[in-house]
Amino acid sequence: MFKAIKQAPPDNPKIDRFPCSKCGALLTFKPGTQHLVCDYCGEQNQIEDRLEVIQEYDFHQALVELARAKPAVGIAQIQCDACGAGFKFANNVHAGECPFCGTAIVTGTAQTKPITPKSLLPFKINEQQAKQEFKRWLKGLWFAPSKVKKYTDDDAKLKGVYIPYWTYDSDTETRYFGARGDVYYVNQEVQTVREGRVIYETRQVPQIQWTPVQGRVARFFDDVLVGASTSLPRQILDQLEPWDLANLVPYNESYLSGFTSEYYQVNLDQGFDNAKRKMESVIYQDIAFDIGGDQQRIDQFNTQHSNTTYKHCLLPVWSAAFRYQQKAYHFIINGRTGQVQGERPYSYWKIGFAIFFGVIVLVGLLIAMERAGVMQDVRGY
């Protein structure tokens, strides 16, 4: 198996900057291209992807190595070599801008976290495109306040962030105990009242016969994705799927230049607990299918995981928040597909009006039916 964890180097983190060979200004990654571009003179540098297979790493071996590894040193002081200022990034960030001069800085992650990202998906959607997708999303929202719909985001700045993710592969075998329910019908005498008289009728009544069952189901899970960031709402992150993980490229700092990038905040084993929960909902359906019958009851199941492997990768999102009536609403745009997910305000006026309008239509319809004589027939006059 491949070793994924290295001992942290002792001194300051490695800082990567990408100066323009023509004018010395800074090159930043241009989404949707293979280039680093100079904002000042337009010079372009091709990013060469390393010819490297994106590997899976053994999960249990990694846990053993993590237990042995020295505790991380923490966030080190960074010296900006453009303006000379010393500063620290936020706890969860390893690439961003110098807070004093705005220079794009990418630092290595080995200093702070024992597992470093080995692959990433570069941004494909640029900020302008992301804004357009966001506007379209806002326009399509039902019952959103008009002010929000007209929200012009010219001053709102989207932040391009690489979010750390774990992906897990696992071979599962699950033993279960439960019961299969089969429906059958019995004739039953039922007492009813018709036209003022008590009568008896025979009716077919469904019953369920339960039979105890046990069995095994097996399934291989490939690339179950778990967000390892805690800075964005988890529900929103989860809804950004699917990601085109088949297009992961080997980790390369060049793609981070000009963007923020985060360290993982959810550990490898915590991430696997989340992945297991995702897998369990699929296994649950497998068991129900295996039991068959008309209804299923699952009393107990126990899943064995084997050949569990993981990858640590970075995925690109455009993130921002807008304020509406003193409340901040987050939204996130998938940096590959442009898919928007977010929190949203509702207009209670609009919802109230829609209900009111619906009631008027219904009442109108009833009056019309009454006049047309439809109601008389229904009531049996």
Q: Does 97 bind Zn ion (CB under 5 A)?
A: no
Of 28, 92, 103, 107, which lies in the binding site for Zn ion, with binding defined by CB under 5 A?
A: 103
DSSP readout, 169-202? EEEEEEEEEEEEEEEEEEEEEEEEEETTEEEEEE
- Please count the CA atoms within 13 angstroms of the CA of 86 that sit on its side-chain side: 4
Q: Does 147 bind Zn ion (CB under 5 A)?
A: no
**Token output for 75:** 């966030």
Block residue for tokens 């090159």 = 27
Sign of the CA dihedral 325, 329, 333, 339? negative
Minimum distance from CB of 96 to Zn ion (Å)? 11
Compute the distance between CA of residue 87 and CA of residue 79 in angstroms, rounded to an integer. Answer: 7
Beta bridge partners of 300: 177
Q: Does 72 bind Zn ion (CB under 5 A)?
A: no
54 vs 82 by CB, closer to Zn ion? 82
22 vs 136 by CB, closer to Zn ion? 22
* Alpha helical stretches, state H, 140-267: 146-149, 234-239
Q: Does 88 bind Zn ion (CB under 5 A)?
A: no
Minimum distance from CB of 160 to Zn ion (Å)? 19
Q: Does 43 bind Zn ion (CB under 5 A)?
A: yes
Minimum distance from CB of 93 to Zn ion (Å)? 15
> Total residues contacting Zn ion (rule CB under 5 A)?
16
Q: Does 83 bind Zn ion (CB under 5 A)?
A: yes
Of 5, 37, 38, 275, which lies in the binding site for Zn ion, with binding defined by CB under 5 A?
A: 38
Compute the distance between CA of residue 184 and CA of residue 260 in angstroms, rounded to an integer. Answer: 62
Minimum distance from CB of 101 to Zn ion (Å)? 3
33 vs 231 by CB, closer to Zn ion? 33
Of 8, 20, 144, 240, which lies in the binding site for Zn ion, with binding defined by CB under 5 A?
A: 20
Compute the distance between CA of residue 261 and CA of residue 90 in angstroms, rounded to an integer. Answer: 11
| Residues 113-132 contacting Zn ion, CB under 5 A | none
**Token output for 349:** 């006026």
84 vs 140 by CB, closer to Zn ion? 84
C-alpha distances in Å from residue 262, one per residue of 302, 308, 313: 35, 25, 11
Q: Does 256 bind Zn ion (CB under 5 A)?
A: no
Q: Does 356 bind Zn ion (CB under 5 A)?
A: no
| Residues 291-350 contacting Zn ion, CB under 5 A | none
96 vs 178 by CB, closer to Zn ion? 96
Sign of the CA dihedral 193, 194, 195, 198? negative
Of 41, 218, 367, 374, which lies in the binding site for Zn ion, with binding defined by CB under 5 A?
A: 41
Q: Does 288 bind Zn ion (CB under 5 A)?
A: no
Alpha-carbon Rg for the chain, nearest whole angstrom, is 30
Of 22, 149, 159, 234, which lies in the binding site for Zn ion, with binding defined by CB under 5 A?
A: 22
Compute the distance between CA of residue 312 and CA of residue 261 in angstroms, rounded to an integer. Answer: 13
Beta bridge partners of 159: 319
40 vs 356 by CB, closer to Zn ion? 40
- Please count the CA atoms within 13 angstroms of the CA of 343 that sit on its side-chain side: 14
Are 168 and 221 in contact, with CB atoms under 8 Å apart? Answer: yes
Compute the distance between CA of residue 55 and CA of residue 116 in angstroms, rounded to an integer. Answer: 13
Q: Does 98 bind Zn ion (CB under 5 A)?
A: yes
Q: Does 15 bind Zn ion (CB under 5 A)?
A: no
| Nearest one of 170, 218, 173 to 58, comparing CA atoms | 170
Span from 31-39, 208-216, 245-253, 264-272 in contact with Zn ion (CB under 5 A): 31-39
Q: Does 190 bind Zn ion (CB under 5 A)?
A: no
Q: Does 87 bind Zn ion (CB under 5 A)?
A: no
Calculate the dihedral angle through the C-alpha atoms of 143, 149, 150, 154, rounding to the nearest 10 degrees.
160
Block residue for tokens 């990768």 = 313
Minimum distance from CB of 26 to Zn ion (Å)? 8
Of 1, 23, 359, 365, which lies in the binding site for Zn ion, with binding defined by CB under 5 A?
A: 23
Footprint of Zn ion (CB under 5 A):
20, 22-23, 25, 38, 40-41, 43, 80, 82-83, 85, 98, 100-101, 103
